[in-house]
Amino acid sequence: MEEQQPVDYVASLKNIDYIVFLIYFVIVAGYGYWIYHRKKRQQTDSKDFFLAEGSLTWWAIGASLIASNISAEQFIGMSGSGFKMGLAIATYEWMAAATLIIVAVFFIPVYLKNKIYTMPQFLNERYNSTVAMIMAVFWLLLYIVVNLMSILYLGAIAISGISGLNIYFCILLLAIFSIVITLGGMKVIGFTDVIQVFFLVLGGLMATYIALNLVAEKSGQTGVLNGFSLLTSQAGDHFHMIFKRDNPNYMDLPGLTVLIGGMWITNLNYWGCNQYITQRALGADLKTARSGILFAAFLKLLMPVIVVLPGIAAYVLHQKGMFQTEMLDSKGILDVNKAYPSLLNLLPDGMKGVAFAALTAAIVASLAGKANSIGTIFTLDIYNKAFDKNASEKKLVNIGKLAVIISMFLAVVLSLLIGEKLMGEGKQGFQYIQEYTGFVSPGIFAMFLLGFFWKKTTSNAALFATIGGFALSVFFKFLPQFMDLSFLSGMGFAIPNAEGIYEIPFLDRMGFVFLISVLGMIIITKYENSKGIQPKGLEVDSSMFRTNTSFTVGAVLVCGILVALYTMFW
């Protein structure tokens, strides 16, 4: 069949696109303003401002979890990884669905039973104030330097790629919009996230529909089903969930580690030990929180259709001669992060406005959620504990708002200064976020896990996991520069990089650090217990983990779908 010529486009929005986007903005801003003024107490009550205590319904909790999670790192970063490595990157989404079930059954009951509202508060009550303060600072740095900065930069790439606006101007616009939403408090964030999820799912499905149709048309066929069939045949190597050791992407997703190794640590830490995520459920009762989390698990199953398939479609279209210049960065290097924006520019007028609104919704919702968590941790766990223990509720709310503005300003500066260096030049933005978050997550998860379910765990053991876990992650990262790790290659735990140096895949690295952290905590705890140190454990009993029939049925359905998906695309 005669090859069609590449499609040229101009990154710009038409009047109808701006009208669609304006409608979205008015709906979100208007609804948020209405929610903000429904209860005046929100303006002066810190727990209501930061947690929306008792206000969020199960569907608002589930939608807010997804809206806060799905952002530029998925739409742009994960689509880019889909372009490069295929459906395997969907393991972050599908394994998250299983993780959410575990969090709902075992983690949330512990938090709610012990009236835990922030993660540092948990550490303070379970261990001591030193552990809590160290981790509060850790989390603030992580949220600003890795999360806020990366979402701003990747989001600006997408917005700039569609609208043609200057990328730095887009960074500023996203930051300002996010601050406006965040200053309304968690109640505004939670309920406006329902609208955000509607737009991001609608726009995402629309982009997938267009992409699959275009793949079909390029082969003289029509329809999304034919397009998907062509994807699986023309990019068969992009439809394997488990990589073999000779796969060039094994370093990012090392084989069975995604099922029985480090992927669990990544997900359990993110969904179960993360203020930014658990905050949505901590203000609700157990039944409502569990229902919301289960709803989020079902939405997670859908996400790869929205964010990964378009990346694979962009790969096939690129192989057919499209996007040859559109996906190049300023240095002429293929930038996989531009796969999704390149696809969106093929949408018809008006529809591009919907996609533009969907991307903006995803980015703003995620930025607002992270900024709110930063404000919560700084205000309740640092300022109120270390600087002003007698601060009034109104003052705490104002300090939280100030923390939001300052953190967003710092993220803007970082994204302008180092965003391109860290996530440009052909690098996968999604993998950047996962790897650098992974420097702290193994130790944190070890500390939380033993803190939950082993009452004898001591504060010094927790300190070892906190500081030692980070130090071990750094050690294993740079170990290949000083030691030949080829002896690990036979077990698949070391892979040669472009320079021929054997490195440990970061997911395996996380697994090693987690196991060493747990072992170290056990040894330290046993030693201190023998000296008579008996710390206070949390209130935990088996009855807390019982679930009602509807949740159990939903959880089994989610797990059944996951088994089917991994069986089909192994």
Burial class of residue 209, CB neighbours in 10 A (0-12, 13-18, 19+):
middle
- Where are the extended beta strands (E) located within 274-342? none
Cα distances from 9 to residues 12, 161, 322, 341, 494, in angstroms, run: 9, 11, 11, 12, 43
Stretch 454-468: mean pLDDT, rounded? 90
pLDDT of residue 564: 93
pLDDT of residue 125: 84
Q: How many CA atoms lie within 13 Å of 19's alpha carbon, on the beta-carbon side?
A: 6
pLDDT of residue 558: 93
Which residues contact residue 93 at a Cβ distance below 8 angstroms, ignoring those fewer than 6 apart?
74, 78, 300, 301, 303, 304, 307, 308
pLDDT at 52 over 60: no
Sort residue 426 into left (φ over 0), alpha (ψ -120 to 50) or beta: left
pLDDT of residue 75: 75
Tell me the pLDDT tens digit for each residue of 125-139: 888 888 888 888 888
Stretch 74-80: mean pLDDT, rounded? 78
Average pLDDT taken over every residue of the chain: 80
pLDDT at 1 over 60: no
Among the residue ranges 370-379, 483-492, 544-553, the one predicted with the least confidence is 483-492
Which residues contact residue 123 at a Cβ distance below 8 angstroms, ignoring those fewer than 6 apart?
131, 132, 135, 447, 451, 462
The answer to whether the beta carbons of residues 162 and 399 sit under 8 Å apart is: no
Categorize the per-residue pLDDT at 458 as very low, low, confident or very high, splitting at 50, 70 and 90.
Answer: very high
| Residues facing 502 on adjacent strands | 496
Distance CA 90, CA 308 (A): 7
pLDDT of residue 294: 92
Stretch 363-370: mean pLDDT, rounded? 78
pLDDT at 41 over 50: no
Answer with the residue of higher pLDDT: 351 or 402.
402
The highest-confidence range among 78-82, 140-144, 293-297, by mean pLDDT, is: 293-297
Categorize the per-residue pLDDT at 461 as very low, low, confident or very high, splitting at 50, 70 and 90.
Answer: very high
Question: Which domains occur in the chain, in start order?
Answer: 57-435 (1.20.1730.10)
pLDDT of residue 36: 66
Which residues contact residue 191 at a Cβ distance below 8 angstroms, ignoring those fewer than 6 apart?
31, 32, 35, 56, 60
Task: State both tokens at 364.
Answer: 């703003």
Helix, strand, coil percentages for the chain (3-state, nearest 5):
75, 0, 25
In three state form, how does the secondary structure of 161-208 look?
HHHCCCHHHHHHHHHHHHHHHHCCCHHHHHHHHHHHHHHHHHHHHHHH
Distance CA 548, CA 284 (A): 17
**Are β-strands 502-503 and 495-496 bridged in parallel, bridged antiparallel, or unpaired?**
antiparallel
pLDDT of residue 560: 94
Categorize the per-residue pLDDT at 85 as very low, low, confident or very high, splitting at 50, 70 and 90.
Answer: confident
Query: Terminus-to-terminus CA distance in the chain, angstroms?
Result: 32
* Secondary structure letter of residue 145 according to DSSP: I
pLDDT of residue 97: 93
Answer with the residue of higher pLDDT: 429 or 195.
195
Stretch 243-249: mean pLDDT, rounded? 83
pLDDT at 162 over 60: yes
Tell me the pLDDT tens digit for each residue of 503-555: 888 888 888 999 999 999 999 999 999 888 878 777 777 778 888 889 999 99
Among the residue ranges 135-149, 197-211, 258-272, 293-307, the one predicted with the least confidence is 197-211
pLDDT at 308 over 60: yes
Which residues contact residue 481 at a Cβ distance below 8 angstroms, ignoring those fewer than 6 apart?
501
Tell me the pLDDT tens digit for each residue of 387-444: 888 877 778 888 888 888 888 899 888 888 876 666 554 455 566 667 777 788 899 8
Answer with the residue of higher pLDDT: 306 or 328.
306
